[in-house]
Amino acid sequence: MQPQYQMTNTATRELTLQQNRVLRNTFMLLALTMVPTVVGALLGVQLQFSFFAGSPFLSFVLFLGIAFGFMWGIERTKDSAMGVALLLGFTFFMGLMLSRILQVALGFSNGGSLIAMAAGGTGVIFFTLAGVATVTKKDFSFLGKFLFIGMVVVLLAAVANIFFQIPALSLTISALAVMVFSAYILYDISRIVTGGEDNYISATLAVYLDIYNVFVSLLNLLMVFSGDRD
């Protein structure tokens, strides 16, 4: 019994070390992804980049095509340095896409404050929920199906609102997105902590998208409720 107990104990320690390593690498790479995101956003604002200047629906479809193409490539190469390179390229692209909403926000007299508040709020949500998942080590995998349904609802509602342009629906979408993707932060960090995700590149991609969507949705809400026109 003693050798078997020692083997089990050793396996448990190795698993814990691996999970901690994945979590540490995920946080480090996540911090790195903020650099190309900020660079892309600043460049987009300077150039007044607008991906949706033409047909909103076709632009949205093209955006999804490029985004899913990146994500497919990242998943295919997640065990190599190419996966990191593609991830950083993807976050630069997402930074460019972020520039449009930043341009709108900067059109308010308190635009800089709104962006800072959205960033701060996103940071509070992330660190709070990541802390809960990391400290409690509770398995939140049961949220997976509900969150996927919520994400699909948000996506379909966003597509519908491209045509209907209903302000109340836009607010509802943003509020729902904040809740869904905040919960996704809890879910995705929990998967790392409990061993459900053992690749830090895939983990970083998932958490990055959670943070990105929370930030955009918070900024949308802040512009509606706190934005001051000149």
The helix/strand/coil state of 156 is helix
Query: The whole model's pTM is what?
Result: 0.91
Question: What average pLDDT does the structure give for the chain?
Answer: 90
Rounded CA separation 43/182 (Å): 28
Residues 6+ apart with CB under 8 A from 122: 211, 214, 215, 218
pLDDT tens-place string over residues 129-154: 999 999 998 999 999 999 999 999 99
pLDDT of residue 216: 96
What are the domain boundaries of the chain?
2-226
pLDDT over 70 percentage in the chain: 91
pLDDT of residue 165: 85
pLDDT of residue 49: 82
Q: Band the pLDDT of 52: cuts 50, 70, 90.
A: low
Q: Band the pLDDT of 13: cuts 50, 70, 90.
A: low
pLDDT tens-place string over residues 148-170: 999 999 999 998 988 888 889 99
**pLDDT (average), residues 38-66:** 85
126-131 long-range contacts, CB within 8 A, separation 24+: 126/185, 126/210, 126/211, 126/214, 129/182, 129/183, 129/185, 129/186, 129/189, 130/185, 130/186, 130/189
What's the Cα-to-Cα distance from 125 to each of 59, 73, 131, 137, 141, rounded to whole Å?
A: 30, 29, 10, 18, 19
